[in-house]
Amino acid sequence: MTSFNKVKDWFISMGSPPFLYKWIMKYLPFMILLSLLLVFISLSWGLFFAPTDYKQGDAYRIIYIHVPSAILSQSIFILMAITGGICLIWRAKVAGMLLRSAAPIGASFTLMALISGAIWGKPTWGTWWVWDARLTSTLILFFIYAAIVGIYSSIEDKTKGDRAAALLSLVGVSMIPIIKKSVDWWQTLHQPSTFTLTQSPSMPPEMYLPLLANVLGFYFLFIALLFLRLRTELALREQRKNWFKQKILGD
Amino acid sequence: MNKLSLTSILFRLLQKDLLIAYRKTSSYLTPLIFFLVVLTFFPLAIGSDSSFLNRIAPGTLWIAALLSSLLAVESLFNEDFNDGTLDQLFISNQPIFLLIIVKVFSHWMITGSPILLASMIGVIFFDLPTSSIFTLLVSLILGTLILSFLSAFGGALSLGKGAILSAIIVLPFSIPVLLLGTAATNAAIQEIEHSSYLFFLGAMLFIVMPFISIATAEALRINSD
Amino acid sequence: MDLINLISEINMDDNYFYVVYVLVIFIILIFINLFQPYLKHKKILKKQRDKG
């Protein structure tokens, strides 16, 4: 019982900027190093030591960057919608800062998924791009990320910007399934494409395990990058407060 | 003091907006002319033989309508924001999302419905069969209404910031409308069964209308505090 | 010794260049996401320290 209370108290105290900032200053170097190490190990495993695919040769290894990036791009958007909801309902400043910190990272992962997918497509299926449902909806996801970044960077007042971005994330997350479905149907409204770019899910464990490791590593990397940006956002907003000045002058 | 009913207040709001727009010719003329100009550019820039035009006609008409409604959003909230009318709407005791529905509807009547007329010129430009006109009109009515509501949300979020930011917000969400509308028009041109697309567009309108209006109200609230 | 054996087992076909391109772009994106907040944070600290 008390351990649950301890976790609850930790969670609540994370909502206070001074506590959060000091926590980040303490654990951030460790988080970044650990996540970089994990990604290095999992990427090396996938890019070097996993077996070569007999059909696609070695270009298939892009999957170890492409799939985790795509998974992250969607998870981060959902996280933004959740923190956006918290920001709008409870007006929690830290929730707004989390949203602003997550957005550029999510956009980067989406971009990574798009680029790695295009580069993978060229040698494997002969084309950089095709307008099938999955690629098109990922591209649209990227545009929605860009819209969110655009809206909060265009509003000077930080709290207002947080709430506008939160609202857009919430509306965005509810529209994503609709967009996905309609782009899916688009293929039946018009001519279906000559080939689909769905990966075969049946993979031997020697290939599947590094993929899982990379997904895990990328999640760790996202958390580290998130706290890095959160630290900067905290500093940006609280820089004139007394606790901040005492903290940095004291260091 | 006369106690006004909700419906009469909404009706007065509609009247006021329409009257203001009627007096300022550019409110309804510029979106229409813009639509026609965009229409003109596609054959000029891409190619103009008749079979090709038939193929690109639905997409072109819809893109022109989309761009027109994206740019027209400036006249929806910005003027009212700048002269304080928006605040007046807020402090009145009426449910804001209903006021928004009325405002968007009046905005559509001013900027969206001329497009319906202009699309008839589009039929001539792109040499479309007369059998497709009815579907084209119905899909455009429903589609431009949905687009008006979506751009209202974009305009409310980017209040005072210009149409291009609003466009970036609205464009991803307008893709389903675009796909449905072009599919309906395409099917009409090729004389395939297409009533399901129109029903779908109608359903989309009735779902979008309340939810987006609530989101728009929230966005206005955020931006005007 | 084991590591050297492992590394010598790696031989890739020509398609591997595509993997290298992706890896490079990935590293660039990660570096951007690492350094841009870090430098901005440093700037804020410097500004507050200079103000006294």
- In chain A, where are the structural domains located? 21-190+201-250
On chain A, the residues whose CB falls within 8 A of the CB of B174 are none
What whole-number distance in Å separates Cα of residue B113 and Cα of residue B76? 15
Q: Which residues pair with A53 in a beta bridge?
A: A57
The H-or-E segment that residue B117 falls in is helix B113-125
For residue B44, what are its two tokens? 């000029």
Say whether A189 and B218 touch across the interface (CB within 8 A): no
Say whether A232 and C13 touch across the interface (CB within 8 A): no
Chains in touch with C (3+ beta-carbon pairs under 8 Å) read A
Residue A149: DSSP 8-state: H
pLDDT digits (tens, 9 = 90+) for B9-31: 888 888 888 888 888 888 888 89
* Residue A12 burial (CB count, 10 A): 10
Q: How far is CA B43 from CA A176, B54, B123, B140, B222, in A?
A: 33, 11, 13, 21, 43
Say whether A112 and C10 touch across the interface (CB within 8 A): no
A152, A167, A170, best to mutate vs chain B, most B CBs in 10 Å: A167
Q: In this complex, which of A112, A120, A232 lies closest to C26 when CB atoms are compared?
A: A112
Stretches in chain A below the pLDDT threshold 50: 194-196
Q: In this complex, which of A61, A108, A248 lies closest to C19 when CB atoms are compared?
A: A61
CA A211 vs. chain centroid, Å, equals: 17
For residue B40, what are its two tokens? 């003109």
What whole-number distance in Å separates Cα of residue A162 and Cα of residue A167? 9
What whole-number distance in Å separates Cα of residue B151 and Cα of residue B201? 17
Say whether B218 and A164 touch across the interface (CB within 8 A): no
Place of tokens 């035009």: B53
For residue B196, what are its two tokens? 């399901």
Q: What is the pLDDT of residue C52?
A: 63
Q: What is the pLDDT of residue C8?
A: 58
Say whether A228 and C38 touch across the interface (CB within 8 A): yes
The SS3 call for residue A251 is coil
Residue B179, Cβ density class (10 Å: 0-12 exposed, 13-18 middle, ≥19 buried) = buried
Q: In this complex, which of A61, A69, A231 lies closest to C41 when CB atoms are compared?
A: A231
Can you give the three-state secondary structure of B71-113, one letter per residue?
HHCHHHHHHHHHHCHHHHHHHCCCCHHHHHHHHHHHHHHHHHH
Say whether B219 and A167 touch across the interface (CB within 8 A): yes
Contacts for B22-27: CB closer than 8 Å, 24+ residues apart? B27/B75, B27/B110, B27/B111
What whole-number distance in Å separates Cα of residue C19 and Cα of residue A134? 21
Q: What is the pLDDT of residue A37?
A: 95
A40, A116, A120, A245, best to mutate vs chain C, most C CBs in 10 Å: A116
Using 50, 70 and 90 to split pLDDT, how confident is the model at B93?
A: confident
> Taking the model in full, what pTM does it have?
0.90
On chain B, the residues whose CB falls within 8 A of the CB of A185 are 179
Using 50, 70 and 90 to split pLDDT, how confident is the model at B80?
A: confident
Q: What is the pLDDT of residue C3?
A: 65
Residues of A with CB under 8 A from a CB of B: 88, 140, 143-144, 146-147, 150-151, 154-155, 160, 163-164, 167-168, 170-172, 175, 178-179, 182-183, 185-186, 189-190
What whole-number distance in Å separates Cα of residue A93 and Cα of residue A16? 9
Residues of A with CB under 8 A from a CB of C: 32, 43, 47-49, 52, 56-59, 61-62, 65-66, 69, 104-105, 108, 111-112, 115-116, 119-120, 122-123, 221, 225, 228-229, 231-232, 235-236, 239, 244-245, 248-249
ipTM: 0.88
Q: Work out the end-to-end distance of chain A between its first and last CA atoms, rounded to an integer number of angstroms.
A: 37
On chain A, the residues whose CB falls within 8 A of the CB of C41 are 231-232, 235
Query: What's chain A's average pLDDT?
Result: 88
Q: For residues A48, A52, A57 and A62, what is the CA-based torsion angle, rounded to 10 degrees?
A: -50
B and C make contact (3+ CB pairs below 8 Å): no
Q: Domains in chain C: how many in total?
A: 1
Q: Which residues pair with A57 in a beta bridge?
A: A53
Q: Check whether B108 has a pLDDT greater than 90.
A: yes
Query: What's chain C's average pLDDT?
Result: 82
Using 50, 70 and 90 to split pLDDT, how confident is the model at B1?
A: very low
Place of tokens 């998870």: A75
B173, B194, B200, best to mutate vs chain A, most A CBs in 10 Å: B173
Helices (H) and strands (E) in chain A, counts: 8, 0
On chain C, the residues whose CB falls within 8 A of the CB of A105 are 33
pLDDT digits (tens, 9 = 90+) for B193-214: 888 899 999 999 999 999 999 9
Q: Chain B residue with minimal CA distance to A162? A: B222
Average pLDDT over residues B141-149: 95
Q: How far is CA B175 from CA B22, B180, C6, in A?
A: 31, 9, 50
Place of tokens 């105290």: A13
Chains in touch with B (3+ beta-carbon pairs under 8 Å) read A
- Touching check for C32 and chain A: CB below 8 Å? yes
The SS3 call for residue A15 is coil
For residue C25, what are its two tokens? 């772009």
Q: Do residues A206 and A50 touch, judged by C-beta distance below 8 A?
A: yes
Q: Do residues B65 and B143 touch, judged by C-beta distance below 8 A?
A: yes
- Touching check for B120 and chain A: CB below 8 Å? no
Say whether A183 and B179 touch across the interface (CB within 8 A): yes
Instruction: Give residue C28's domain range.
Output: 2-51
For residue A208, what are its two tokens? 């599947």
Say whether C19 and A59 touch across the interface (CB within 8 A): yes
